[in-house]
Chain A
């Protein structure tokens, strides 16, 4: 089955700096890669996703890049704000939507004001 590794497990940045979280996956047939943000005590919520026919996708201060050859994808958050503090999860699946996602182990991001 699919295996998704996520690094780092914790990340602390100064407000206004950028944050980068990296994931690798094992199944070359995976073609859907979402990122979820989970605030303390809340449900995971989708913040951005990318499919295998796209190399990069941006949405305001967040962006995701995908390298299918190397089987890795990354989340980039620019101009970080205290409200970006949360746990972020990457995931991968063979489908083109959210079914049977395999998740990474999460990155706890702390943004220092």
Chain B
């Protein structure tokens, strides 16, 4: 049981490049989400999904796209990277309903030069 798996662990991009951060979970969780973590800012919600085919914006969605074609996968796309998107990105998932807890992946450290 791998839990929440994120790839890559590290990535360096040039301004304007595009890339996709991968997230997969094998726990059959309905809910999946992406957070970014910046020093002194805590974790901020980018996008989330409550099931396949359903996505919605979080607190800081600009510059990011997501899709949820399967229950297991929730990729995060940066269409044109900017230095302001330098951050650590965490994918997290959970069941929906009472008493369910959020589980995080190991994170992707992204630098945009």
Q: Do chains A and B interact in one complex?
A: yes
On whether the beta carbons of B100 and A1 are closer than 8 Å, the reply is no
Interface residue from B44, B48, B50 paired with A103 (Cβ < 8 Å): B44
Q: Is B97 located at the chain interface by the 8 A CB criterion?
A: yes
Residues of B contacting A46 in the complex (Cβ-Cβ under 8 angstroms) = 101-103
On whether the beta carbons of B40 and A96 are closer than 8 Å, the reply is no
Number of interface residues of B (CB under 8 A): 29
Q: Is A45 located at the chain interface by the 8 A CB criterion?
A: yes
Residues of B contacting A78 in the complex (Cβ-Cβ under 8 angstroms) = none
> B41's closest neighbor in chain A, by CB?
A105
- Interface of A, secondary structure class, is loop
Q: Do A106 and B50 contact each other (CB < 8 Å), given the known contacts A43-B90, A45-B104, A98-B94?
A: no
Residues of A contacting B107 in the complex (Cβ-Cβ under 8 angstroms) = 43
On whether the beta carbons of A100 and B43 are closer than 8 Å, the reply is no
Interface residue from A98, A103, A106 paired with B100 (Cβ < 8 Å): A98
On whether the beta carbons of A102 and B45 are closer than 8 Å, the reply is yes
On whether the beta carbons of A99 and B42 are closer than 8 Å, the reply is no
On whether the beta carbons of A43 and B97 are closer than 8 Å, the reply is no
On whether the beta carbons of A99 and B43 are closer than 8 Å, the reply is no
Residues of B contacting A44 in the complex (Cβ-Cβ under 8 angstroms) = 43, 90, 104
Within 8 A of B (CB), among A64-113: 89, 91, 95-106
On whether the beta carbons of B102 and A102 are closer than 8 Å, the reply is no
Determine the distance from Cα of A76 to Cα of B52 in the docked complex, in whole angstroms: 39
Within 8 A of B (CB), among A45-61: 45-46, 49
Q: Do A106 and B42 contact each other (CB < 8 Å), given the known contacts A98-B92, A98-B94, A99-B96?
A: yes
> B58's closest neighbor in chain A, by CB?
A100
Determine the distance from Cα of A1 to Cα of B59 in the docked complex, in whole angstroms: 9
Q: Do A43 and B105 contact each other (CB < 8 Å), given the known contacts A99-B50, A101-B45?
A: yes
Interface residues of A (CB under 8 A from B): 1, 4, 6, 9, 34, 42-46, 49, 89, 91, 95-106
A96-B99, A98-B31 known; 13 other A-B pairs, CB under 8 Å? A4-B42, A9-B40, A43-B105, A44-B43, A44-B104, A45-B104, A91-B43, A96-B98, A97-B96, A98-B101, A99-B33, A99-B48, A104-B42
